[in-house]
Chain A
C-alpha cells in the first residue's frame, strides 16, 4: 500500500492488473480489497481491464473467490502443475490433485469465466500416458487459458540439488519432445491455440497482461523483489522483505537495481520477447520504437536462422517456425 502511494502522483493509466508471485490467495480477501482501493485512488483504472489473481490449490474456498469477483477480479490463474501424486511430490508441491481439481471447480462455481491453469511436463517419472491424462482432465473442466512449461532445473532449487545428487534423473529429451508434440495435438482438439511459447488460449482469451511483457510495454511492479519497466528502464525492488519494509517506512522507493537500456539493448529485448509470440515481431515497429535497424544489424544472423529453418521472415515480421518453437534459445542467442 505504502509503495503504491509513492507512485500516486504519476497518473498511470492501468490497463491490466495481475496479483501474483508467491501465494496471494492465502491472504484474507480484506487485504486484497485494500490493495485494490489503493490502486484505484492512485491511477486511472480502465473499465474493461483484465484483472487476474494467482491462486494455489488448497488456499481458497468458494466464499473467498466470490469476494474476489465482487472486488472486480475477473480472471484466476491456478497453479495445478500436474494431477499425479508422485509427480507433485517430486516437484515439492504440498497440494493434492483432488485439491487442484476442486479449486478449478470452485472458481467456476464462484462465477469466473476466465480461468488459467499452469501445468508442467517433463517431470522425472512422468510418462506420456500420465501427461496426457493430466492435460485432458484439466481441459475437460472447460477452462479458457493454459500455461504449459517444460520442467527446468533452476540452480538453487531443491529439485536441482536432487538432480546433482543423482536422486532424480531427467526424462529423455526424445520423450520430452514427444510430450510437446502430443500436447499440440490435444490442445488443437480442445480448440486452444498457441500464442506464446508456453501459453495457449481459447479464442479471445489470451492473457493481455502477459502480452504487455512480450510486447515490451511499460509495467509497474509492486512488492518485494518485483520488477518494473518504465520508459526504457528496468527497475527491481529489493528481494529482502525486512529491507523492503524498512526503506518504505522512510518513504523511499525500495528499488535497488536499475538498468537503463540503450536503443540497441532495447531492440534486442524486443526481438527476444516478441519472437516468443506466434505473431512474432515487426522489424519496422522496432525501428519506430528504438531507431534501430534490426534488419541491417542482424542481417547475417537472420539469414543463418532462416537457412537453419528456425525462423520465417516476410519482409517485416520475424516469426518462429514450428521447428523453431522448441529451439527458441538457439534463435534468441543470435540477437543477444
Chain B
C-alpha cells in the first residue's frame, strides 16, 4: 500500500475508560470484525486472563481497511492496557505509531494514567486526538471534562471528539479524524530493511513470532534478515498482518505493522526492542529501541517439585519474550532450593506472570512475598544492592540502608483531601505539591517510599476516597531509612524465603502479625512447631503450633474401605501442596502471608 494511505495509531487511556470497547466499534465500522465475534465485547482481549478479569493485559495490534472519500486506507490500530503495571506495553506500542487516541471517560475526567500516557505519547512525538467517551451515561460531565482537557493538557475545544463506544456514537467522525489528523508514516521501500521488534511470542511449532513495524524497506518470504543486536541471520518463512490471528501476505512494506516468522527457535535471538535489517545490506545503526525499564518489585519463584527448575527456566524465557517487562535471575534458597528472583513492574504484573506461567506453561510455583530493591552500605565501606531480603548482611555489618522512593501523583475529588493526606502521612509520605485540575478535582504530588506504595497503598487509597482516586508513580532514587531485616524461624531454623525488610518502628507489630498468620496457615504436624520472629538476633515474637495427637479412621469394615481410601487420598493431595522445609511442611500461602499488614 502507498505510504500516504497508511495510518498507525494506538488507543491510550486510564484503566477502564473504554479503549477496548472503542476498538470494537472501529473494527465493526471497518468490517474487520469476524462474524462469530460480533456478540463479544472487547474482542481484542482474547487472553483468558483478560476475559476473566475484564482488563487488557497485552497490547493488541489489528489491521483495518476503511474507505473515506472514495479512497481506501490501511489502518493499524493497537489497543493498549490502562493499568499502570502494564505501561511498558503502552510505550512499546507507541513506538510503532504516528498517532494516538487519548480516551477520557466522560464521567471520570482526567485520571492519573491519562496524564502518564499523555506524557508518554508526547515523548514519542505522536499526534494526539482527544476523545471523550461514555457520553451516553447519565452521569457524564462533558463540559467539565472538556475544560480539563483544554486547561490541563492544552488541547483546543474543536479538537475534542465526543463518542460513546458502547452506543456507537461519533465513530464515523473519529475515523475521519484518524485519517485526516494523524500523519502517514514516512520512509522508503528502496532503502535497506529497518524494522522494530515491539512484541513477540513463542510458538512451539514455528518458533518466535515477531511483532514489527517497518520503518524502511520491505520484507517477504525468503528475505535474509539480520538481528542487529547479535548479528543472527535468518531466512524469512512468512510475513503477514494481524486480524484476529495471523494473516499471511506477500510482503510487509515500509510503514506497515505486522509479523515475521523466520524459524527462530532460540528466544534470545529475537529481543523486543531490537532492529531487524537486511543481512546482505544491513543499515549502520539500529533504531533507538526502548528505554530499559527497571522492575519495581521482586519475588522469588520456585518450582513446587524439586526437579522443575529447567522447566521453569524455559517457561520464564518464553514468557519474557511476550512480556519484556519481566526480568529474572537464578536464585538459590536454602529453604526452597533453586529457583529465580524475578522483577516486575508492580504486584498486578507479578500476579499475572505467576498465573500465565501456571496456565500457559503448566508449571507449579511457590512464590515468595514481594519486596523492593535496597542499597545497603556496610561498615567496611561496601555498597550492596539487594533485591532479596536473604542477601541482607548481618546486622552488625550494616552502616546504613537506603530504599527507593517514588514521586506519586494522586488525582482525587477535592472532598477527600483530608483522608488522602492522612493516608500518605501514615506511609511516610512528604507532600510536594497540590493543584486543582478544576474546582472539584485535585492532583497531589507526594514523595513516598516505594515499598509503602507497592503493597496495599492503592487499596487503602481507593477505600478512603470511595473508589474515586487514581494513582501513578515514577522512581526518583534512593533515600536513607531505618530498615531492619525481620527473620522468621520455623522450628528453630531461620527460613530465608520468609524473611522481610521492614522499617524499625514497624518491626514489632509486623513480627507479631506474621507469626500469628503462620501459626494459622501451617498445618499441625506430629511434633510441636515453634514459630519465631527475630530482629538483629533478638526474638521479638513467638507462637507455637501444637502437635497432632490423634488422626485415625475409627471404623473400617468391608463397606468402608473405598470411602476411607478416598479420605486418605484427599489427605495426601493436601500434603502435596505443601513445601517441605527441613522437617516442616509449609503451604504456599505462608510465603505470601508475610506480605500484607493489617
Q: Is the CB of B553 within 8 A of A173?
A: no
Alpha-carbon gap, A326 to B553, bound state (A): 9
Contacts of B561 in A (CB 8 A): 213, 227, 229, 234, 269, 273
A177 touching B558 by the CB < 8 A rule? no
- Residue in contact with A197 in the complex, picked from B554, B559, B568, CB distance below 8 Å: B554
**Is B35 interfacial (CB 8 A cutoff)?**
no
Q: Are A272 and B565 in contact (CB under 8 A)?
A: yes
Pick out which of these stretches binds chain A: B81-89, B339-347, B543-551.
B543-551
**A325 and B549 form a contact (CB under 8 A):** no
The answer, yes or no, to whether B285 is at the interface (CB within 8 Å) is no
The 4 tightest CB contacts between A and B, nearest first, are A328-B552, A149-B554, A227-B559, A336-B568
- Contact B562 A227, beta carbon cutoff 8 Å: yes
Contact A234 B554, CB 8 Å, known A329-B571, A333-B568, A336-B568? no
Partner of B562, one of A149, A234, A325, A328: A234
**Total cross-chain contacts (CB, 8 A):** 87
**In the assembled complex, A219 has its CB within 8 A of some CB on chain B:** yes
In the complex, which residue of chain B has the Cβ closest to the Cβ of A120? B554
B394 neighbours in A (Cβ, 8 Å): none
Nearest CB in chain B: distance from A132 CB, A: 19
B residues neighboring A (CB under 8 Å) = 526, 548-559, 561-562, 564-565, 568-569, 571-572, 575
In the docked arrangement, what's the CA distance between A180 and B551, Å? Answer: 12
CB of B557, distance to nearest CB on chain A (Å): 5
Closest residue of chain A to B557 (Cβ to Cβ) is A213
Ordered by A's residue number, 13 sampled pairs between the chains whose C-beta atoms are within 8 Å are: A150-B552, A152-B555, A197-B554, A198-B555, A221-B558, A221-B559, A227-B559, A269-B561, A308-B526, A329-B552, A329-B553, A330-B526, A336-B569
Interface size on A (CB < 8 Å)? 40
Q: Say yes or no: A336-B572 contact (C-beta < 8 A), given A221-B559, A227-B558.
A: yes
B559/A174 in contact, CB under 8 A: no
Cβ < 8 Å to B, chain A residues 206-230: 210, 212-214, 219, 221, 225-229
Contact A150 B554, CB 8 Å, known A272-B568, A327-B526, A332-B568? yes
Contact B555 A149 (CB under 8 A): yes
Q: Which residue on chain B has the smallest CB distance to residue A152?
A: B554
Interchain CA distance A310-B553 in the complex, whole Å: 15
Shortest beta-carbon distance from A54 to chain B in Å:
12
Is there a chain B Cβ closer than 8 Å to A176's Cβ?
yes
Does A140 count as interface, using CB distance less than 8 angstroms?
no
Docked CA distance A248–B572 (Å): 39
**Are B552 and A327 neighbours in the complex by a CB distance under 8 Å?**
yes
Once the chains bind, are A328 and B553 in contact (CB under 8 Å)? yes
Known: A329-B571, A333-B568. A177 touches B562 (CB 8 A): no
Are A328 and B551 CB-contacts (below 8 A) given A236-B562, A269-B561, A333-B571?
yes
16 other A-B residue contacts (CB within 8 Å) besides A150-B554, A269-B565, A327-B526? A177-B549, A180-B550, A197-B556, A198-B555, A213-B556, A226-B559, A236-B559, A272-B565, A273-B556, A273-B561, A326-B549, A326-B552, A328-B552, A332-B553, A332-B568, A336-B572
A259 within 8 A of B: yes
Determine whether A21 belongs to the interface, using a CB cutoff of 8 Å to chain B: yes
CA distance A214 to B568 in the complex (A): 17
